[in-house]
């Protein structure tokens, strides 16, 4: 395409300017004076000579070439060009020149945008727009050439020049307003297309200008729509100028276990106004195709239609929706059939929700000694070997994904870790907490002198699961972390329950000895066991199982990958919330009660072993005398703490159930507080404490009183 320099080379323009000055000078002769720069002073010329001189100058300025008499100034704020008529010009001629100069300024603005778009690395959209502007300016150059011919033929006047430029002036004025807006805001890519689209809407009713704006918008949008087509049909991101609406955040690889939504993202500033309604569909379509390509699969795109600019944005939806549906169905089919998504989810469920009962019984029987040791002394390699042995010799041996299961040790207890996460999510104090949530009785000894705050392997044991691509899109790092939290919570309840049950079995001989002062301890232990079993039943059978079935149906009926992801994430979030793992107060109270129950069970097992030895040696009286006071005192303190925390738990559960309308929490409150038992215990404890406080405040009776 031709440009200013190609139509009139610089050297030729300079020669023509020199010839024009010579003609004027030759006409004026010796009567004309020049200033220091050699420019003729127009005020000394007659009107006809002034007109010829200014016509010659206007033809230069109309081609965006610096004139001899007409001065140009640029407003640095608006970046607009203003042309000023020469001084000394005849007033009548000056008025006609002032009507012509806006057309010159408009063309200068258009030329400046075209030159800026030719810069290396510039937006492809801007370059395409500049190409369209060059096509339009061809007729403009032809018009100026004809006017120049008339000038040298002596047939051109300012009035005729103004008349000939009038149709072009309206076109150039619109082009200039568009280019000036683009230059002022440094627009590129989608911003340029949005301005052009708005121009097409503003010129409806002006047939010529509307057709012109539509033509420019179609040419400028061609590179951008080509990128859209490549993205939604091939899943390829070709964006050398970084102007596309989608950008690739991290490299997609099987090792990058990131959620699907994190691999590619929308850039809001790079979305044209006429594609805003379908931007999300465009993003999802390309993502699906990229996942399929990584899995060496290809979506059968049966309806490939080229994208061209249209004025009605809704017309793009049919094209994009068709491509989206085809890519989505291809990926869903691959996940469900080729990569056995439901079998994977079932495998994760069996392990992390401890549905493989014989697996964990076998594992805990062999690993109990290792897990009972302080966490620093636990051998992770030995645990892994014992877990693998249990996997091979249990019902889990038939699971095709059993080799992906591993075990490990966390950094802190599950309650402490979840509490830190809750605090961080609320932008509160994120100081890590490793202490106890409930003040345990200080004189409650544990076997082998193990301190009550020492963490064992049972406290930190967790499972890990290796997930391959592309299933890692669903079972990503964040999802597996939530599975781990649920597993560790269930595992902790199972551990406490096991200690309480073994304590009951171990105390059979002591119970047969009919020690009346032991009944209070046995009764407290039974209440602890009832609490743990009730909580475990609620977590497994009231929360996890029903919501798992609902999630399973939602996954099977999902129409898109995002629906599938939403169903799975909603299942995990709901389970964490209903299992009281996202409420700091409930989490602290439940964790403290579990810890207290485990400590008391360990204490009872130790005492039972001592008492059983004494009974075997027929030292019943000595056992009675030495142990009664210790057991009663420890039981009283543990009982008071347990009742107090159960009362706090029931109160918190009642509040949460009322505020969040959680019917399941209301049911567990009725089960735990059957017949208002713990309400009565808390009330009696408060009354007893109040009575003791009043007694301490009463003064002792005086020695002179009648009672004394």
Which pLDDT score is estimated for 430?
Answer: 44
Which pLDDT score is estimated for 435?
Answer: 42
Q: Which two tokens stand for residue 612?
A: 């059983």
Tell me the torsion sign for CA atoms 226, 227, 229, 235: positive
From residue 119, give the alpha-carbon distance in Å to each of 129, 222, 608. 13, 19, 88
What length is written for the chain?
A: 708
52-66, 163-177, 461-475, 503-517: least confidently modelled range: 503-517
CA-CA distance, 247 to 18, in Å (whole number)? Answer: 54
For 478, how many CA atoms within 13 A lie in the half-sphere containing its CB? Answer: 14
Which pLDDT score is estimated for 89?
Answer: 78
Domain chopping of the chain, boundaries: 42-187, 234-338, 342-424+450-694
55-64, 164-173, 604-613, 634-643: least confidently modelled range: 604-613
CA-CA distance, 445 to 477, in Å (whole number)? Answer: 40
Higher pLDDT, 53 or 246: 246
Which pLDDT score is estimated for 502?
Answer: 84
Which pLDDT score is estimated for 438?
Answer: 44
Give the mean model confidence (pLDDT) for residues 265-269: 87
Contact 42, 89 (CB under 8 A): yes
Query: Would the pLDDT of 574 be above 50?
Result: yes
Which pLDDT score is estimated for 449?
Answer: 38
Burial class of 501 by CB neighbour count within 10 A (0 to 12, 13 to 18, 19+): middle
CA-CA distance, 298 to 176, in Å (whole number)? Answer: 47
Query: Would the pLDDT of 32 be above 90?
Result: no
Which pLDDT score is estimated for 518?
Answer: 72
> At 690, is the pLDDT very low, low, confident or very high (cuts 50, 70, 90)?
low
Among 573, 586, 585, 593, smallest CA distance to 493 is for 593
Higher pLDDT, 226 or 426: 226
- The pTM of the full predicted model, rounded to 2 decimals, is 0.70
Residues of the chain with pLDDT > 90: what percent? 13
Three-state SS for 463?
Answer: strand
Which pLDDT score is estimated for 633?
Answer: 76
Question: Which of 128-132, 359-363, 372-376 is predicted most confidently?
Answer: 128-132
Query: Would the pLDDT of 432 be above 60?
Result: no
CA-CA distance, 250 to 253, in Å (whole number)? Answer: 9
Contact 86, 70 (CB under 8 A): yes
Mean pLDDT of the chain: 78
> At 442, is the pLDDT very low, low, confident or very high (cuts 50, 70, 90)?
very low
CA-CA distance, 244 to 189, in Å (whole number)? Answer: 7
177-191, 363-377, 546-560: least confidently modelled range: 363-377
Where would I find the H helices in 38-90? 47-62
Which pLDDT score is estimated for 691?
Answer: 67
Higher pLDDT, 38 or 630: 630
> At 639, is the pLDDT very low, low, confident or very high (cuts 50, 70, 90)?
confident
Which pLDDT score is estimated for 258?
Answer: 52
Contact 523, 565 (CB under 8 A): no
> At 418, is the pLDDT very low, low, confident or very high (cuts 50, 70, 90)?
confident
For 295, the enclosing helix (H) or strand (E) is none
According to CATH, the topology of domain 342-424+450-694 is 1.20.120
CA 47 to chain centre: 73
Three-state SS for 456?
Answer: strand
Which pLDDT score is estimated for 700?
Answer: 55
Burial class of 35 by CB neighbour count within 10 A (0 to 12, 13 to 18, 19+): exposed
Residues with Cβ < 8 Å from 13, sequence gap 6 or more? 60, 63, 65
pLDDT digits (tens, 9 = 90+) for 477-493: 889 999 999 999 999 99
> At 551, is the pLDDT very low, low, confident or very high (cuts 50, 70, 90)?
very high
> At 611, is the pLDDT very low, low, confident or very high (cuts 50, 70, 90)?
low
> At 634, is the pLDDT very low, low, confident or very high (cuts 50, 70, 90)?
confident
Give the mean model confidence (pLDDT) for residues 248-259: 51
């Amino acid at each position: 395409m031709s440009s200013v320099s190609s139509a009139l080379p610089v050297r030729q323009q300079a020669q023509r300017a020199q010839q024009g000055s010579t003609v004027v000078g030759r006409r004026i002769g010796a009567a004309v004076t020049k200033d220091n720069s050699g420019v003729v002073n127009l005020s000394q010329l007659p009107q006809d000579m002034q007109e010829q001189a200014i016509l010659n100058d206007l033809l230069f300025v109309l081609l965006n070439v610096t004139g001899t008499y007409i001065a140009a100034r640029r407003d640095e704020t608006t970046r607009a060009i203003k042309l000023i008529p020469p001084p000394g010009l005849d007033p009548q001629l000056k008025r006609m020149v002032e009507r012509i100069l806006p057309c010159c300024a408009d063309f200068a603005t258009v030329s400046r945008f075209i030159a800026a778009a030719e810069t290396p690395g510039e937006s492809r959209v801007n370059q395409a727009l500049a190409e369209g502007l060059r096509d339009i300016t061809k007729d403009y150059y032809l018009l100026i050439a004809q006017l120049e011919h008339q000038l040298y033929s002596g047939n051109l006047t300012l009035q005729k020049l103004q008349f000939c430029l009038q149709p072009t002036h309206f076109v150039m004025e619109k082009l200039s307003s568009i280019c000036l807006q683009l230059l002022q805001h440094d627009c590129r890519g989608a911003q340029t297309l949005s301005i052009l689209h708005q121009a097409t809407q503003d010129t409806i009713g002006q047939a010529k200008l509307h057709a012109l704006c539509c033509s420019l918008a179609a040419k400028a949008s061609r590179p951008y729509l080509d990128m859209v087509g490549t993205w939604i049909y091939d899943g390829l991101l070709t964006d050398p100028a970084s102007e596309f609406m989608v950008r690739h955040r991290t490299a997609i690889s099987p090792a990058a276990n990131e959620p699907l939504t994190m691999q590619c993202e929308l850039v809001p500033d790079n979305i044209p106004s006429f594609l805003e309604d379908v931007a999300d569909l465009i993003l999802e379509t390309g993502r699906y195709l990229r996942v399929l390509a990584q899995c060496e699969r290809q979506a059968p795109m049966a309806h490939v239609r080229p994208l061209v600019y249209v004025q009605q944005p809704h017309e793009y939806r049919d094209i994009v929706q068709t491509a989206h549906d085809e890519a989505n169905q291809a990926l869903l089919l691959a996940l469900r059939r080729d990569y056995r998504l439901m079998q994977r989810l079932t495998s994760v469920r069996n392990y992390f929700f401890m549905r493989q009962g014989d697996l964990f019984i076998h594992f805990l029987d062999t690993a109990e000694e290792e897990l009972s040791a302080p966490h620093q002394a636990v051998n992770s390699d030995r645990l892994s070997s014992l877990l693998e042995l249990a996997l091979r010799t249990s019902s889990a041996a038939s699971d095709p994904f059993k080799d992906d299961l591993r075990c490990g040790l966390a950094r802190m207890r599950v309650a402490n870790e979840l509490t830190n996460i809750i605090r961080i999510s609320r932008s509160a104090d994120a100081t890590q907490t490793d202490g106890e949530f409930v003040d345990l009785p200080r004189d409650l000894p544990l076997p082998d002198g193990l301190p009550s705050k020492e963490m064992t392997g049972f406290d930190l044991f967790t499972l890990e699961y290796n997930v391959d691509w592309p299933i890692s899109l669903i079972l990503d790092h964040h999802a597996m972390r939530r599975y781990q939290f649920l597993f560790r919570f269930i595992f902790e309840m199972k551990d406490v329950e096991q200690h309480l049950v073994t304590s009951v079995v171990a105390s059979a001989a002591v119970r047969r000895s009919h020690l009346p002062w032991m009944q209070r301890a046995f009764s407290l232990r039974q209440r602890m066991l009832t609490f743990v079993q009730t909580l475990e039943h609620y977590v497994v059978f009231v929360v996890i199982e029903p919501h798992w079935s609902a999630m399973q149906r939602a996954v099977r009926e999902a129409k898109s990958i995002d629906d599938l992801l939403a169903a799975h994430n909603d299942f995990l979030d709901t389970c964490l919330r209903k299992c009281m793992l996202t409420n700091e107060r409930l989490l602290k109270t439940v964790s403290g009660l579990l810890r207290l129950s485990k400590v008391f069970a360990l204490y009872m097992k130790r005492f039972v072993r001592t008492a059983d030895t004494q009974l075997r040696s027929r030292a019943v009286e000595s056992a009675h005398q030495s142990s009664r006071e210790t057991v009663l005192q420890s039981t009283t303190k543990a009982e008071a703490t347990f009742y107090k925390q159960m009362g706090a738990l029931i109160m918190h559960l009642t509040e949460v159930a009322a505020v969040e309308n959680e019917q399941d929490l209301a049911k567990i409150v009725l089960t735990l507080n059957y017949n208002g038992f713990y309400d009565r215990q808390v009330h009696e404890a408060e009354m007893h404490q109040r009575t003791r406080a009043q007694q301490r405040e009463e003064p002792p009776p005086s020695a002179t009183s009648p009672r004394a």
